[in-house]
Amino acid sequence: MKIFETKKDLASALSAYRNQGGSIGLVPTMGALHDGHISLVEQCCRENQATVVSIFVNPTQFNDKNDLANYPRMLSADAEKLEKTACNFIFAPTVEEMYPQEDTRTFEFGLLGQVMEGAHRPGHFNGVAQIVSKLFDAVQPDKAYFGEKDFQQLAVIRHMTRALHYPIQIIGCPTVREPDGLSMSSRNMLLTPEQRKVAPVIAKTLRESQVRIKEMPLDALKQWVVTQIDSNPEMQTEYFEIVDRDTLQPVAKFTGQKLQGCIAVRVGKIRLIDNIAYE
Ligand code: PAF
């Protein structure tokens, strides 16, 4: 496994694979890798001749300076974990390498970008699209892998990929959970032991909502979810929406269609997101 900091060095290493017609897979990450990331990497390695894992804490997608400053950075521990997989290349560029000048591009996601994370984190998805498009340009992968934990991000990236005509297959991979149900996230390591103990309430409540959706009107169900979670003094729900799985627009009634429940919760100062399927 090789680690590159520049697009140029990465491109010349990848050209050998490309020239032989081998497929290249990309797993974009911000590092602080956990088993959820590793499952993306393993799937990528199975499905491609070369796997690139990018590790870059992208400043343009943080709308909160403290969140950016506190985001965990641990490149050597990440590299050790990736050594145990069949990953071929880590791409760990500097901010100057990815943003030699300010990126003033703005991306349009239509209604997809206006709800939930889009409404609560202004500019976040624009920053995600800026870096993901730069990574797509640098790596030119055949396939790119993203976790379904970031459900709306996955939809926004699919939209951007289609709109910009990237010949890249976007692969969404299932959320990986801790044994107590908490969805794996690099932010989990920032929770205090007490917060970590209560955080699984989010997943537990979402699971229970899968049963209750058959018995309750959606408004009442949404209220129930928020009340369950916010009854814990450490937790405050930022939003919980039940949306159409493709358009991500809130729906008024459950008639057995494919819906997704998406939630953002502040656990102390740490913001966690999760989601669940209803059908
Ligand atoms: O999901 C993430 O870790 C990031 O948003 C991504 C896709 C790597 C872009 O910085």
For range 217-224, the mean pLDDT: 98
Q: Which of 29, 145, 159, 185 to mutate to test the pocket of ligand 1 (most atoms within 8 A of CB)?
A: 29
Q: How far is the centre of ligand 1, averaged over its atoms, from the C-alpha of 29 (Å)?
A: 5
Q: Identify residue 33 by its one-letter amino acid code.
A: L
Q: 193 and 36 in contact (C-beta within 8 Å)?
A: no
Q: Identify residue 57 by its one-letter amino acid code.
A: V
Asked whether residue 256 carries a pLDDT value surpassing 90, the answer given is no
Active site residues: 37
Q: Identify residue 272 by its one-letter amino acid code.
A: L
Bridge partners (DSSP) of residue 277 are 260
Q: How far is the centre of ligand 1, averaged over its atoms, from the C-alpha of 58 (Å)?
A: 8
Q: Give, using CA atoms, the residue closest to atom 1 of ligand 1.
A: 29
Ligand 1 atom at minimum distance from 186 CA? 3
What pLDDT does residue 222 have? 98
Residue appearing with tokens 């819906």? 259
- Three-class SS of the chain: CEEECCHHHHHHHHHHHHHCCCCEEEEEECCCCCHHHHHHHHHHHHHCCEEEEEECCCHHHCCCHHHHHHCCCCHHHHHHHHHCCCCCEEECCCHHHHCCCCCCCCCCCHHHHCCCHHHHCCCHHHHHHHHHHHHHHHHCCCEEEEECCCHHHHHHHHHHHHHCCCCCEEEEECCCECCCCCECCHHHHHCCHHHHHHCCHHHHHHHHHHHHCCCCCHHHHHHHHHHHHHCCCCEEEEEEEEEECCCCCECCCCCCCCEEEEEEEEECCEEEEEEEEEC
Q: Identify residue 31 by its one-letter amino acid code.
A: G
Give phi and psi for 161, each to the nearest 5.
-60, -40
What pLDDT does residue 230 have? 98
Q: Percent of the chain beyond pLDDT 70?
A: 100
Give phi and psi for 62, each to the nearest 5.
-95, 120
Q: Which long-range contacts (CB under 8 A, 24 or more apart) does 166-170 make?
A: 166/133, 166/136, 167/142, 168/136, 168/141, 168/142, 168/143, 168/144, 169/142, 169/143, 169/144, 170/143, 170/144, 170/146
Q: How far is the centre of ligand 1, averaged over its atoms, from the C-alpha of 48 (Å)?
A: 21
What pLDDT does residue 178 have? 98
* pTM to 2 decimal places: 0.97
Ligand 1 atom at minimum distance from 29 CA? 8
pLDDT digits (tens, 9 = 90+) for 121-159: 999 999 999 999 999 999 999 999 999 999 999 999 999
Q: How far is the centre of ligand 1, averaged over its atoms, from the C-alpha of 244 (Å)?
A: 23
pLDDT digits (tens, 9 = 90+) for 30-46: 999 999 999 999 999 99
What pLDDT does residue 279 have? 87
Ligand 1: residues with CB < 6 A are 28-30, 58, 61, 128, 131-132, 150, 153
What pLDDT does residue 96 have? 98
For range 70-92, the mean pLDDT: 97
Q: Give, using CA atoms, the residue closest to atom 3 of ligand 1.
A: 29
- Name every residue whose Cβ is closer than 8 Å to that of residue 223 and which is 6 or more positions away in sequence: none
Give the pLDDT band of residue 169 (cuts 50, 70, 90).
Answer: very high
- State the average pLDDT for the chain: 97
